[in-house]
Structure 1
Amino acid sequence: MRVDAARNHNVILEVAGDLFCHHGPGVSMDAIATAASVGKGTLFRRFGDRDGLIRAVVGERTEAWWQGARARATDESVPARERALRLVDEMFELIVLRLRPLMATMEKSDCVGPPPWLDQLAVLIAEVRPESDAQFLAKVIVGSMRSEMVVPGGEETLRVNVRALTSSVLGD
């Protein structure tokens, strides 16, 4: 990738992510192009469409986090129950506290498939509770962190409830 193309790519991802976080899913491609100082055609050539841009922004903002979280979730020197609780705590920090507006945009676009951490959580649940439908339970836990579950100022209450749900699923 040329230097100017790489710069444009990074600027577009940063600007689009910030606009989605501050203004929600209704941000137009025109507004993103203007804020990034690129032509609208550049957006479409680089990302294909709005959904492609959303996927790229979500990927860019979660990739480094996921690398570390996956390493901790697969560390077999720690009991599976503890790893599952830690993963859910880390997901909460990412989904609810750091990236909620961006995640809300992603939820509304239906352009991004299930996150990789969903499968990892299911693996951990299955390890702790092999008789359970681990995939379903992982979806319930992750679903409890969707943007519509958060009331203004209620993040800490939601955190406590998500943690209690996870503990209940894993058994005490």
Structure 2
Amino acid sequence: MAQRAERTERTERADAQRNREAVLAAADALFAASSSPHGVSMDDIAAAAGVGKGTLFRRFGDRSGLIAAVITSRLEPLRRTVREVQEATGSAPRQQVADLLDTALTFKIDNRNLMSAAEDAGISSPYQAQHYGWWHETLRTALDRVPGVHAPEFTAHALLAAIRADLVAHLLDERKMSPEELRSSLAAHLDNVLGAA
């Protein structure tokens, strides 16, 4: 009897994990394919994942909770890559800042509808979101090692403000900048902030 209950519990946990992964994959794909961060509803995600809408609310609480979970899953491989780069290379601190900022911008470009949806959903304050805290701390730590940067905490916030998802989406989708132009403009802005290399 106890063995049967244990098997049932393991099966339920495995089903719940499969459902979670299906929901995250469906949400990720829908946001990537959508032309607007408002174009993806909980109904759409539930249908694409093959689960009931109630499952979404039980598992993630609400739309903002689901969006935060998708962002976390998208960032995990990137966090590993950033850590590996920081540990493996002896690049100059200023170059590390440039690389980190470019990586953050590229992530925003590739995930602009998802990130805009996160900003629109009002996941508490954007400055209290877990992913923002990680980007800020990583960038601030790199700025700490750049000679002449007297306020790394503020500078990290100011640089991240230049790549807010709504600004990235506006420049790419409405102003028709190319990703390359946007990345080049950000690099020039960094030079303005930090001074000539």
Q: What TM-score bracket applies, with the shorter chain setting the length?
A: 0.7 to 0.9
Mark the structure with the bigger radius of gyration.
2
1:3 is matched with which residue? 14
**Aligned 1:145-160 pairs, distance under 5 A:** 145-147=163-165, 148-149=167-168, 150-152=171-173, 153-154=176-177, 155-160=179-184
Q: Deviations over 1:65-114 (max 9, x none)?
A: 11211332355732211111111121222112x21111111121221612
How many residue pairs end up in the alignment?
171
Q: Once structures 1 and 2 are overlaid, which stretch shifts more, 25-34 or 49-58?
A: 25-34
Task: Note if contact 1:73-1:84 (Cα within 8 Å) is conserved in structure 2.
Answer: no
Gapped regions of structure 1 (runs ≥ 5): none
1:133 is matched with which residue? 151
Please state if 1:35 is matched with 2:56.
no
Q: Once structures 1 and 2 are overlaid, which stretch shifts more, 69-78 or 104-113?
A: 69-78
What CA RMSD, in Å, does the superposition of the two structures yield over aligned residues? 2.0
TM-score (ref. length: structure 2): 0.77
2:105 is matched with which residue? 92
Change over 3 Å in CA distance of 1:64–1:19 after alignment to 2: same
Task: Note if contact 2:149-2:194 (Cα within 8 Å) is conserved in structure 1.
Answer: no
Please state if 1:108 is matched with 2:120.
yes
Q: What is the SS of the residue equivalent to 2:163?
A: coil
**Aligned 1:73-84 pairs, distance under 5 A:** 73=86, 77-84=90-97
2:187 is matched with which residue? 163
Q: What is the SS of the residue equivalent to 2:150?
A: coil
Q: What is the SS of the residue equivalent to 2:172?
A: coil
Distance 1:81 1:100 in 2: 26
The runs of at least 4 aligned residues of structure 1 exceeding 3 Å deviation read: 73-76
Please state if 1:68 is matched with 2:81.
yes
Gapped regions of structure 2 (runs ≥ 5): 1-9
TM-score (ref. length: structure 1): 0.87
